[in-house]
């Protein structure tokens, strides 16, 4: 600031008033223009931290997450939030806690000390969260998470509708014996996706057959073992709905192990649209898209431009991504 004042031949006070856009500053227009020109020529940048301390806020938004920053599968939450923040002239500060509560407390304390304006609390997996005590009284939005507090804005995937539409897609193609592989333990996502599967069957006038539902813990191995169990039944399913794409990868391996062709002999549909998996399997996997980018972007918009009361807990649609792992059942199932 000293250099700008010297170049413009004015006092540092005048420079401060102009560059900090102080209302009511009695600075002649030609002097103001000279200060701004010299500041631009010298590449002057105001001290954002000092300004934040004076004003009691900053242009920063905090994104605190359990593990999103270290996984390729939900990174679009960060991208959506970052781009929405940038459009609003804000900078996103990211903290990844690796599920460590002590680290979360330390990170929140540090962000508060740096006058961070508002916070996104984002979860890798759809789950219920409690608002940390440190953030009470601050603007907060939950992303891929929900809360029992109706006043706390949140955005989550519409898992129930997603499970219903995945199953409905298979039903619309003519499948009637549809297996299900649940490898997500007792998560919120699993409960809702299974409920959607059951709703679709009932709406089609079909019974929910427990013999067609397999529940195992794990990822690809659960899909592999679950599919083997379903496909070795005397009346095997013509299609399998896997609750995530990694289970679907295992189910594809199981079909090959048994000499079944996908999709000619067996249709497989997944959930999540994990691009590193779904788009590169052979055949490429039909699946449901988790709206990660949209959740991150909505979270920032909700922080900066609060939604009406009726839209504070938002459920976003999970669209169907059609690829080559699904087709109508063969003649054996007609």
Residue 207: CB atoms within 10 Å? 9
Q: Which two tokens stand for residue 329?
A: 């059942």
- Its sign, for the CA torsion 298, 301, 307, 313, is positive
The answer on 325 and 199 residing in a single domain is yes
| Rounded Cα gap, residues 8 and 190, in angstroms | 65
Buried b (16+ CB within 10 A) or exposed e, 159-173: bbbbbbbbbbbbbee
Which residues, at least 6 apart from 151, have a Cβ–Cβ distance to it below 8 Å? 312
Helix, strand, coil content of the chain in percent (nearest 5)? 45, 20, 35
The answer on 73 and 99 residing in a single domain is yes
Residue 78: CB atoms within 10 Å? 22
Task: Examine residue 88 and state whether it is found in any structural domain, yes or no.
Answer: yes
The answer on 214 and 139 residing in a single domain is no
Residue 47 has pLDDT above 70, yes or no: no
| Rounded Cα gap, residues 216 and 214, in angstroms | 7
Task: Examine residue 33 and state whether it is found in any structural domain, yes or no.
Answer: yes
The answer on 128 and 233 residing in a single domain is no
Measured at the alpha carbon of residue 56, what is the angle toward residues 53 and 58, in degrees to the nearest 5?
80
What local confidence, expressed as pLDDT, does residue 211 receive? 96
- Report the percent of the chain where pLDDT is more than 70: 90
Residue 53 has pLDDT above 70, yes or no: no
Number of domains into which the chain is organized: 3
Task: Examine residue 248 and state whether it is found in any structural domain, yes or no.
Answer: yes
Which residues, at least 6 apart from 34, have a Cβ–Cβ distance to it below 8 Å? 8, 10
Domain of residue 166: give its range. Answer: 159-290+320-333
Task: Examine residue 52 and state whether it is found in any structural domain, yes or no.
Answer: no
Beta bridge partners of 127: 145
How far is residue 13 from each of residues 26, 31, 49, 69, 256, measured CA to CA in Å?
A: 11, 13, 19, 43, 76
The answer on 264 and 193 residing in a single domain is yes
Of 122, 106, 95, 94, the C-alpha closest to 296 is 122
The answer on 208 and 87 residing in a single domain is no
The answer on 14 and 28 residing in a single domain is yes
Task: Examine residue 9 and state whether it is found in any structural domain, yes or no.
Answer: yes
Better-scored residue on pLDDT, 28 or 142: 142
The answer on 23 and 110 residing in a single domain is no
The answer on 266 and 231 residing in a single domain is yes
Query: Are 129 and 153 a contacting pair, CB within 8 Å?
Result: no
Residue with token string 């390729």: 72
DSSP helix/strand/coil, 314: strand
What local confidence, expressed as pLDDT, does residue 150 receive? 83
Task: Examine residue 297 and state whether it is found in any structural domain, yes or no.
Answer: yes
In the chain, alpha helices (H)? 2-8, 12-19, 29-42, 48-55, 75-87, 101-113, 159-172, 188-203, 220-231, 245-257, 275-278, 292-304
CB neighbour class for 312 (10 Å; exposed up to 12, middle 13-18, buried from 19): middle
The answer on 259 and 123 residing in a single domain is no
Q: Report the CATH number at residue 11.
A: 1.10.260.40
Which residues, at least 6 apart from 136, have a Cβ–Cβ distance to it below 8 Å? none
Chain Cα centroid distance, residue 148: 20
Residue 49 has pLDDT above 60, yes or no: no
Q: Compute φ and ψ for 153, nearest 5 degrees.
A: -65, 145
pLDDT bin (cut points 50, 70, 90) of residue 185 is confident
What one-character-per-residue DSSP string does 71-102 give?
-SSSHHHHHHHHHHHHHTT-EEEEEE-TT-HH
Task: Examine residue 134 and state whether it is found in any structural domain, yes or no.
Answer: yes
Tell me: the pLDDT tens digits for 258-286?
A: 999 999 999 999 999 998 899 999 999 99
Tell me: the pLDDT tens digits for 281-329?
A: 999 999 999 999 999 999 999 998 866 554 688 999 999 999 999 999 9
Of 10, 27, 46, which one is at a domain's C-terminal end? Answer: 46
Q: Which two tokens stand for residue 188?
A: 């919120």
Query: Are 297 and 86 a contacting pair, CB within 8 Å?
Result: no
Q: Which two tokens stand for residue 306?
A: 């609060």
Better-scored residue on pLDDT, 67 or 61: 61
Task: State the chain's mean pLDDT as an integer.
Answer: 89
Q: Report the CATH number at residue 195.
A: 3.40.50.2300
Residue 107 has pLDDT above 80, yes or no: yes
The answer on 267 and 217 residing in a single domain is yes
What local confidence, expressed as pLDDT, does residue 202 receive? 98
The answer on 114 and 8 residing in a single domain is no
Task: Examine residue 234 and state whether it is found in any structural domain, yes or no.
Answer: yes
């Amino acid at each position: 600031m000293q250099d700008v004042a010297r170049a413009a031949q004015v006092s540092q006070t005048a420079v401060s008033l102009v560059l900090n856009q102080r209302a009511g500053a009695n600075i002649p227009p030609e002097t103001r223009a000279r200060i701004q020109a010299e500041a631009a020529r010298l590449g002057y940048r105001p001290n954002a931290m000092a300004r934040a301390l004076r004003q009691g806020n900053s242009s920063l938004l905090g994104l605190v997450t359990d593990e999103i920053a270290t996984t390729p599968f939900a990174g679009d939450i960060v991208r959506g939030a970052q781009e929405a923040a940038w459009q609003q002239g804000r900078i996103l500060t990211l903290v990844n806690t690796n599920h460590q509560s002590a680290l979360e407390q330390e990170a929140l304390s540090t962000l508060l000390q740096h006058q961070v304006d508002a916070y996104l609390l984002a979860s890798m997996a759809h789950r219920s969260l409690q608002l940390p005590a440190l953030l009470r009284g601050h603007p907060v939005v939950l992303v891929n998470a929900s809360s029992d507090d109706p006043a706390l804005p949140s955005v989550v995937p519409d898992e129930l509708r997603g499970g219903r539409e995945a199953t409905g897609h298979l039903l619309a193609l003519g499948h009637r014996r549809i297996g299900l592989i649940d490898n997500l333990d007792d998560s919120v996502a699993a409960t809702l996706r299974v409920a959607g599967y059951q709703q679709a069957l009932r709406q089609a006038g079909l019974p929910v057959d427990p013999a067609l539902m397999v529940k195992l813990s794990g990822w690809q191995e659960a899909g592999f073992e679950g599919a083997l169990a379903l496909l070795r039944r005397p009346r095997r399913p013509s299609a399998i709905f896997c609750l995530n794409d990694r289970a679907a990868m295992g189910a594809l391996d199981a079909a090959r192990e048994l000499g079944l062709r996908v999709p000619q002999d067996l249709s497989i549909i997944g959930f999540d649209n994990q691009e590193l998996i779904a788009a590169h399997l052979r055949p490429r996997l039909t699946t449901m898209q988790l709206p990660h980018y949209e959740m991150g972007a909505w979270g920032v918009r909700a922080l900066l431009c609060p939604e009406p009361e009726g839209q504070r807990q938002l459920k976003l649609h999970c669209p169907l991504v059609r690829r080559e792992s699904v087709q109508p059942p063969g003649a054996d199932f007609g």
